[in-house]
Chains A and B, each alone.
Chain A
Amino acid sequence: MGVGVSTSYGRSYSDRAFATDYRMPMEFTAAANLDELLDVKAQQPDAQLLAGGTDLMVAVNLAHHRPEQIVSLGRVEELKDVGSARIGAGTTWARLEQCQYTALAQAARTVGSPQIRAAGTIGGNIGTASPAGDGLPWIAAADAEIIVESKERGERIVPWREFFTGVKRTSLASDEVITGVTIPDNLPDAQEFAKVGTRNAMVIATVSCVVMRGDDGFRVALGSVAPTPMRATRAEEMINAESTISDAVLEEFGRIVQDEVQPITDHRSTEAYRRHAAGVLARRLVKRTLQ
């Protein structure tokens, strides 16, 4: 995922024919802490950030992506914390599997493989902003905000709807770094994540969904069915107006979800299948939050 390149399997840059690419020198800085990271980003706004590398290195290996400047944030300990008010951008999926937010932990468990989860971070998932990013539906359901920071303008808290602007597009400015995600107060305990893919392990979502059930009713967020993560607002309104969740209500709810999503057909699935699966997943997760 992430880079959307077609790959010729097994082609290796270790073939000496490609070796010349590497003679182009690259500038590399390993930031020791957040201050240094922001300093370097202010001086080198074109530098690309490197976290776990699980998206970036695929682009290097298979798309011949040749960054000229790299700033690694792997040593910035300040970004690796899961606190009560924020999740640091440098938190790995392996760490998030253990976190107290049920649906986020469930999502983390489905990312890639143990090797990918040990390296990949939520900040990288947000930075890539793929429609299939498994961390993104939770952010949308929680109505969390993205915390970004630059040397010049300090911290900026961006609502997720303003942060994700399109397929792999965000409103992050070039001198900014994603430092984390806010954790809103009073998140519902009843929250569930699921995704549909072609198999169980190592799969990029065809459709992903988070449902939360709290005092304000149900919240329904979906991934892989629009250019950005989205909330199924009409379906939420419909189900939250009902006093009992009967089978007929669920049926109607699923139909609205199917209607509301805006999927496309691509190499992973078709529009029709994604619509169908979105309705089924959302219905199923509503039921799970009621159990």
Chain B
Amino acid sequence: MNVTITLNGEARMFDVAGPESLLSVLRNDLDLPGTKDACEQGECGSCTVNMDGEALCSCLVMAVDADGSIVLTVEGLSSEGELHAVQDAMLKHGAVQCGFCTPGIVVAGSRLLESNPHPTEIEIREALSGNICRCTGYGAILRAFEDLAAEES
């Protein structure tokens, strides 16, 4: 089954035979390992991608069903070597330890700021409630997003 998606701004084609997830195709067939694979059951958010404007768990998207959609992964957020504002803020606040949750948090958080540039603390917590971090205790991550939320747009 041939599938075409717009991936990080470029048309990409791939072939799948079965019900495999978009996550497995991204990592194994399209050489984009930035999207992380941890639980494969929608619980951890490490596989979060932006698909047609929504933050979704790519482990729960059947790859063949993504045909025709617009997908943005963490690799597509920075442009020409410039980090995305969310990535900058995460670095500045030391919001990364092992880094396994980071791509999912960056993608989910950038989706939040697109739809709501000045979220409250509660809105930030809610938007990131599907992303588990086992290292940071979330404090530094929250501070990074509060910083971004306070910025003039």
Contact = CB atoms under 8 A, between A and B. Distances in A.
A14 B62 contact: no
B17 A61 contact: no
A14 B58 CA distance: 14
Interface stretch (B72-80, B122-130, B139-147): B122-130
Interface string B51-80: 000111101111011010000000000000
Contacts of B153: none
A56 to B, nearest CB: 8
Interface residues on A, range: 35 or more
Contact of B42 (A23, A58, A70): A58
Contact of B56 (A9, A14, A118): A118
Contact of A113 (B18, B19, B129): B129
Interface residues on B, range: 35 or more
Which residue among B16, B42, B131 has the maximum number of chain A CB atoms within 10 Å of its CB? B42
A13 B24 contact: yes
A25 B17 contact: yes
Interface in A193-233: 201-202
Contacts of A273: none
B20 A115 contact: no
B65 A72 contact: yes
A272 interface: no
Contact of B40 (A24, A28, A61, A119): A61
B33 to A, nearest CB: 10
B38 interface: yes
19 contacts: A22-B20, A23-B18, A26-B1, A26-B64, A28-B65, A50-B65, A57-B19, A57-B62, A58-B42, A58-B60, A60-B19, A61-B59, A65-B19, A66-B19, A74-B65, A114-B108, A115-B55, A116-B57, A118-B54
